[in-house]
């Protein structure tokens, strides 16, 4: 299957990086390589781009798509949790900009055998990288009802989490839930008919929750953000695109912590904790897709872009 993915907030995220043509940039979520291509177009001969992705299909696609930038583009199969190690191995201490386009790619959603989508019947998987030890099938069939409830409620913000978990546990006593279609059927049975008629697809929040849990998405995000800011040159920027409220909240809070790290009580006349601001937040409110973009790519509707700039500490 051809690797197709429409890059979201493409111009806004790249403009936000304020590209230095001679700079070094890192696309931490290579995906369909659309953002990487735009960055490379703006680099001069001395400029470099590192593209990181844990999905071998994304790496293979990027290498082919960006073959005209040999000597400037470097693809690395890794998770951005390993960002610090990747930069050390590339012998790059400081870089000019980072881009994160979080969430699942259109290719992953549209490839049934990856098991991400509630729209295609396939084996339950949801791993963004094939080397990951745990897939969605193991969670659905192995976790307790309480653990499933917590995951679906916390990561899916699903009001029917307890009921869905209860129906999953009841169903798997008869036989294991092995496919996305089987899981969708259980979720639809668990959610009352009146609630199913309004809002998004009834399985959307549960599938999101399982995907986040399988890939430990929120667990690795805060560390990756802080590692990226540490590796930024003064004046360098970081652009982060999120697709659901949990991610956006984490980015917002992490940026706020790095911009205003002082822990002194408000009554203190001067700072005594010694913690210095590391970044300036460029986007007071997140940038959202234009109506024109949403017309072309409805999947962009929940996207939000936040940008920060490294201070000269």
Q: For 104-125, what is each residue's pLDDT tens digit?
A: 665 566 667 777 788 889 999 9
Mean pLDDT estimate for the chain: 92
C-alpha closest to that of 151 among 104, 211, 110: 211
pLDDT score of 116: 75
C-alpha closest to that of 100 among 268, 224, 193, 205: 224
pLDDT score of 53: 92
pLDDT score of 1: 46
User: Higher pLDDT residue, 162 or 264?
Assistant: 162
Measured CA to CA, the distance from residue 8 to residue 241 in angstroms comes to 8
pLDDT score of 19: 98
pLDDT score of 133: 87
Q: What is the pLDDT of residues 253-270, one digit of tens each?
A: 999 999 998 888 888 888
Residues 154-157: contacts with CB under 8 Å, at least 24 apart: 154/209, 155/208, 155/209, 155/210, 155/212, 155/213, 155/218, 155/246, 156/205, 156/206, 156/207, 156/208, 156/209, 157/205, 157/245, 157/246
User: Higher pLDDT residue, 199 or 237?
Assistant: 237
Domains belonging to the chain, first-starting first, are 10-107+217-310 (3.40.50.150), 118-215 (1.10.150.170)
pLDDT score of 5: 60
Cβ pair 279, 229 in contact under 8 A: yes
What are the start-end ranges of the H helices in the chain? 10-16, 34-41, 56-65, 83-89, 106-110, 136-142, 145-156, 161-174, 180-190, 193-196, 204-215, 217-230, 245-259, 291-296
Measured CA to CA, the distance from residue 247 to residue 217 in angstroms comes to 9
Query: For the residues 134-161, what does the mean pLDDT come to?
Result: 97
pLDDT score of 151: 98
Backbone angles phi, psi at 237, to 5 degrees: -125, 160
pLDDT score of 10: 94
Query: pTM for this one?
Result: 0.87
Residue 3 clears pLDDT 60, i.e. is over it:
no
Q: Which two tokens stand for residue 300?
A: 């962009």
Query: For the residues 32-47, what does the mean pLDDT come to?
Result: 96
Cβ pair 116, 109 in contact under 8 A: yes
Residue 98 clears pLDDT 80, i.e. is over it:
yes
Tell me the percentage of the chain whose pLDDT exceeds 90: 73
Measured CA to CA, the distance from residue 284 to residue 274 in angstroms comes to 25
Residue 2 clears pLDDT 70, i.e. is over it:
no
Q: Which two tokens stand for residue 197?
A: 């008629």
pLDDT score of 110: 61
């Amino acid at each position: 299957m051809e690797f197709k993915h429409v890059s979201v907030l493409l111009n806004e995220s790249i403009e936000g990086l304020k590209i230095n043509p001679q700079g070094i940039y890192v696309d931490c979520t290579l995906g369909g390589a659309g953002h990487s291509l735009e960055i490379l177009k703006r680099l001069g001969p001395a400029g470099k781009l590192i593209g990181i992705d844990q999905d071998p299909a994304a790496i293979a696609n990027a290498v082919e798509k960006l073959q005209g930038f040999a000597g400037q583009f470097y693809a690395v199969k890794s998770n951005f949790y390993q960002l610090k190690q990747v930069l050390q191995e590339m012998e790059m201490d400081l870089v000019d900009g980072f881009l994160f386009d979080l969430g699942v790619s259109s290719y992953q959603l549209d490839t049934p055998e990856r098991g991400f989508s509630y729209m295609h019947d396939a084996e339950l998987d949801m791993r963004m990288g094939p080397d990951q030890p745990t897939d969605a099938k193991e969670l659905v069939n192995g976790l307790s009802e309480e653990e499933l409830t917590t995951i679906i409620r916390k990561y899916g913000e699903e009001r029917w989490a307890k009921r869905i978990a209860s129906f999953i546990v009841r169903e798997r006593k008869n036989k294991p839930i092995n496919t996305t279609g089987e899981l969708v059927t259980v979720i639809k049975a668990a959610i009352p008919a009146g609630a199913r008629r309004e809002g998004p697809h009834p399985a959307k929040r549960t599938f999101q929750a399982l995907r986040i849990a399988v890939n430990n998405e929120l667990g690795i995000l805060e560390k990756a953000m802080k590692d990226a800011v540490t590796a930024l040159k003064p004046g360098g920027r970081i652009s982060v695109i999120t697709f659901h409220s949990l991610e956006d909240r984490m980015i917002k809070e992490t940026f706020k912590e790095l911009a205003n790290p002082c822990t002194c009580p408000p009554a203190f006349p001067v700072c005594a904790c010694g913690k210095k601001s590391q970044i300036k937040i460029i986007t007071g409110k997140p940038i959202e897709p234009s109506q024109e973009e949403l017309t072309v790519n409805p999947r962009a509707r929940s996207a939000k872009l936040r940008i920060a700039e490294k201070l000269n500490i």
